[in-house]
Structure 1
Amino acid sequence: MPRPPRARERVLDAFERILIDDGERTATLDATAKAAGVSKGGLLYHFASKDDLAAGLLARLEALAQDDLDRMASAEEGPIAYFLRTSVMEDAGLDRALVAVSRLAQSGIPAAADALRRVREAWADALRPHVRDDTALELVMLVSDGLYYNNALDTAGAEGSALAGPVPTGGRLEKLIALVSSAAS
């Protein structure tokens, strides 16, 4: 039977959820403690300030990104196909952390923007040996961005929206992955 998340993780989970759902201004210490089901003192035991909460979330993002890089390196389908396939959000921990840290970056927190840049650079570095040149790397990165962006817009169920193209699934996604992998190699 899995153990319930510890208070520190519950606090980070709550902070992340508030950032995603309501934005950085709403993610106060009081709101985070309440959402996590801990006292404010319990929150302060783990995170002395909102800056410490943000730092905890950035550390979470970087750890999840490293896990993703490890899976990418050992993916049977190869790093490019893995990277593109996982560019479609699945509400996984990494997806939530990316969105939450993006909210922090959008609110003007430089450390959040820096963390997002480091993650993107780490992905690029992992892909670089598997593409023929920097232009091919840029193609893979931009297709990944497009998949992620369109998937993010489509989460509200905006079928047929002029803003977002359909997110390829099944055979269409496989064709896209094969095409980009072929073009990049």
Structure 2
Amino acid sequence: MIDTKDRILDALELVLTESGPGAATLEAVAARAGVSKGGLLYHFGGKEALFNGLLDRLRDLGAQDAATHDDCDALTAYLATSSRAEDAYTRTLLATMRLIGTPGVDAENAIADSLDHWADVLAEHITDPMLLRLVMLVGDGLYLRALLGAQRRPLDDNLVSYVRGLAAR
């Protein structure tokens, strides 16, 4: 069974992605989570704490995503995860993106932190910092296209093969 804190964060994600941060009142999130406002405040002391709880979730999911890979081929795992857009991490990322510019909420750094977990993993296998940055930017671009629902193009597969070739040198 999902715990109350996670139900509240799930509800926040839904409210944010459907209606934006203006609609993410404590009352609306509590109602969506099926808890009282007092129950929400028990877990999150206020709206800023609630939003920061979502940022913590994003960072945790980013770390989990980077940790669940085959050590033998971290690059392939990274580029594969960069092409998917329907998982818990992505739902949390999209909700967090709606918080960009919200006072008291550092969504930008939480997003960067969550994406950078892969950089740490890949740095163990790719020693050239320029190549590592290139790989990360290719992954970011593939991920953005997946988030937008764009069809993966045959050239994308060629690019992944090319980058893997560069990393194998």
Q: Is the 8 A contact 1:87 1:148 kept in 2?
A: yes
Q: Which residue of 1 aligns with 2:58?
A: 61
Flag the 1:7–1:110 CA change in 2: closer, same or farther, 3 A.
closer
Q: Is the 8 A contact 2:126 2:167 kept in 1?
A: yes
Q: Classify the secondary structure of the residue corresponding to 2:124.
A: helix
Q: Distance in 2 between matches of 1:174 and 1:82?
A: 14
**How many aligned positions are there?**
168
Per-residue CA deviations over 1:66-105 (Å, capped at 9, x if unaligned) read 2112113x355x1111011001234211111111122212
Q: Which runs of 5+ in 1 are unaligned?
A: 155-163
Q: Which runs of 5+ in 2 are unaligned?
A: none
Runs of 4+ in 1 over 6 A off after TM superposition: none
CA RMSD of aligned residues (A): 2.1
Flag the 1:83–1:108 CA change in 2: closer, same or farther, 3 A.
farther
Query: TM-score w.r.t. structure 2 length?
Result: 0.87
For the pair 1:181 / 2:164, whether they are aligned, the reply is yes
Q: Which residue of 2 aligns with 1:158?
A: none
Q: Which residue of 1 aligns with 2:30?
A: 33
Higher relative contact order (CA 8 A, sep 6+): 2
Deviation at 1:32, TM superposition (A): 0.3
Identity %: 38
Q: Distance in 1 between matches of 2:146 and 2:104?
A: 25
Q: Distance in 2 between matches of 1:107 and 1:135?
A: 33
Q: Which residue of 2 aligns with 1:42?
A: 39
